[in-house]
Chain A
Amino acid sequence: AQKITQTQPGMFVQEKEAVTLDCTYDTSDPSYGLFWYKQPSSGEMIFLIYQGSYDQQNATEGRYSLNFQKARKSANLVISASQLGDSAMYFCAMREGSPHTGTASKLTFGTGTRLQVTL
């Protein structure tokens, strides 16, 4: 079974609108972390937001928020007020285990969602 599933290969959103990128995960480890990364056409991987499995509140970072539904094993990224510069590939990733051990390097990535922001 896929550990990280991103079911939307591509998404379009109009500038200034909000968009939700879906991510579901599969793990039996009670301690895990979920990450979203942005990859623009230039190719670098840019960290956006993190949610720990024990975090009580959904993570927010500026225009990015993570809709964490633990029972459904979903960690959707919400981008508010989309901008043209948000056009990029977005990857959801999971770390299983503590962030303070070697497993912290072992991220499992989804296949990504390509977001295109239009005027």
Chain B
Amino acid sequence: NAGVTQTPKFQVLKTGQSMTLQCAQDMNHEYMSWYRQDPGMGLRLIHYSVGAGITDQGEVPNGYNVSRSTTEDFPLRLLSAAPSQTSVYFCASSYSETKANVLTFGAGSRLTVL
């Protein structure tokens, strides 16, 4: 199993450009989520999904869109990139039927907005 796969690993954008960070998991996990990590601030939740067709906002959703058309994929869209969105982005997934429902994270995507 590949686990949680994120692409691209690195991306540089200019202010105002749009892009999509891809996330795919092959573990048949129902729950998926996107976090961002900024220096000195830990990880913060952007959006999450409890299953195909269902998404909800996290702590810092502004400037980001998500959709979940399949169980496997959960892309994160930046509609008009801003320098404040320079960060490392992590996608995560988990399976609700386990005791702990531990999040498995992807390797991260480093985004720089100029």
Kindly list chain A residues whose C-beta atoms are within 8 Å of the C-beta of B92: 45, 105
Is A12 close to B, CB under 8 A?
no
Interface flags for A92-115 (1: CB within 8 Å of B; 0: not) read: 010100011110111101111000
Q: Which range contains the number of A residues in contact with the other chain?
A: 20 to 34
Is A50 close to B, CB under 8 A?
yes
Kindly list chain B residues whose C-beta atoms are within 8 Å of the C-beta of A107: 35, 43, 45, 103
Kindly list chain A residues whose C-beta atoms are within 8 Å of the C-beta of B97: 100
Given contacts A43-B107, A43-B108, A100-B96, contact A105 B32 (CB under 8 A): yes
A23 to B35, CA, bound (A): 21
Is B88 close to A, CB under 8 A?
yes
A50 to B56, CA, bound (A): 25
Q: B103 CB to closest chain A CB, in angstroms?
A: 6
Kindly list chain A residues whose C-beta atoms are within 8 Å of the C-beta of B41: 111
Is A29 close to B, CB under 8 A?
no
Specify the chain A residue showing the minimal Cβ separation from B51: A102
Q: B40 CB to closest chain A CB, in angstroms?
A: 6
Kindly list chain B residues whose C-beta atoms are within 8 Å of the C-beta of A112: 42
Is A25 close to B, CB under 8 A?
no
A105 in contact with B50 (CB, 8 Å): yes
A42 to B100, CA, bound (A): 26
Q: B108 CB to closest chain A CB, in angstroms?
A: 5
Which residues of A are interface residues toward B (Cβ below 8 A)?
4, 33, 35, 37, 43-45, 47, 50, 52, 91, 93, 95, 99-102, 104-107, 109-112
Q: Which 9 A-B pairs have the closest CB atoms?
A: A109-B42, A99-B101, A45-B105, A105-B48, A102-B50, A104-B101, A50-B100, A105-B33, A109-B43
